[in-house]
Amino acid sequence: MILNILGARGPYPAKGEPTSGYLLMTKEANILIECGSGVLTRLLNFISFDDISFIICSHLHADHTSDLGVLRYYLASRGKEIDLYIPSEPKEEYNLIRKGVYRVKEIENNMEIEIGNLSIKFLEGQHPYKSFAVRIEEDGKIFGFSGDTGFKEELIEFFKDADLLLLNAAYTDKEVEKIEPEKRFHLSPKQAAEIAKKANAKLLVLTHIKPECNEKEHLMSAKDVFENIVLGTNTQVIEF
């Protein structure tokens, strides 16, 4: 598998850096995971729009879906459709996205699907919008992505033995301590590292990082818990 990081900022872009978007290239498919602001122009560095096999969006916040509207223009102009896996809520956003070129497949908690030799599983996270983590396995290689979620014990087992674990780290460690547990809708660096360590992951990539974040502190904080970590903002291509 190859992970191409198209955007790792959130909830808004930095100069020249898009919000959430990742191209996972497997033997079976080219999977676009998230389609946030500015992602499509980065995608063209790797493949054409026609080469996208299908799309997964963890949830329907704009920093994860805004470029779907732009991709719609391209697909419609060529009479094409594409499979899009998204949650069915909130209904207003869902109904806007599902019109036209997207063959929408609704994500549900604990859903499992098989596409060729790919095994894909979903787990609901903790977020104001219904949001899902995703685990993709092919020929023994495992990729895990948190989507937007606070800490949940279930994530550890869900991501067990992942070769590459892509986790949001939107909060700082100090920020997360000030928020009531049930209102924590993202992870901190230490929380992400704890999940990676307990899940026995090989590599952790931190993403969904605010433009104003002190990235050196973010990284060092996580490395206090788990050593093999990189920032998505400083990394473009990872083969695993």
Report the pLDDT averaged over residues 150-168: 98
Give the β-pairing of 132-138 and 30-35.
Answer: unpaired
Which pair of structure tokens corresponds to residue 165? Answer: 């674990």
Cα 140–192–61 angle (5° rounding)? 90
Range 129-132 contact pairs with CB under 8 angstroms and sequence separation of 24 or more: 129/59, 129/60, 129/61, 129/87, 129/89, 129/90, 130/59, 130/87, 130/88, 130/89, 130/90, 131/58, 131/59, 131/87, 132/58, 132/59, 132/87, 132/107
pLDDT bracket for residue 99 (50, 70, 90): confident
pLDDT digits (tens, 9 = 90+) for 3-62: 999 999 999 999 999 999 999 999 999 999 999 999 999 999 999 999 999 999 999 999
Q: Topology of domain 2-239, per CATH?
A: Metallo-beta-lactamase; Chain A (3.60.15)
Q: What are the boundaries of each domain within the chain?
A: 2-239
Give the β-pairing of 54-56 and 30-35.
Answer: parallel
Kindly tell me if the per-residue pLDDT of 235 is higher than 90.
no
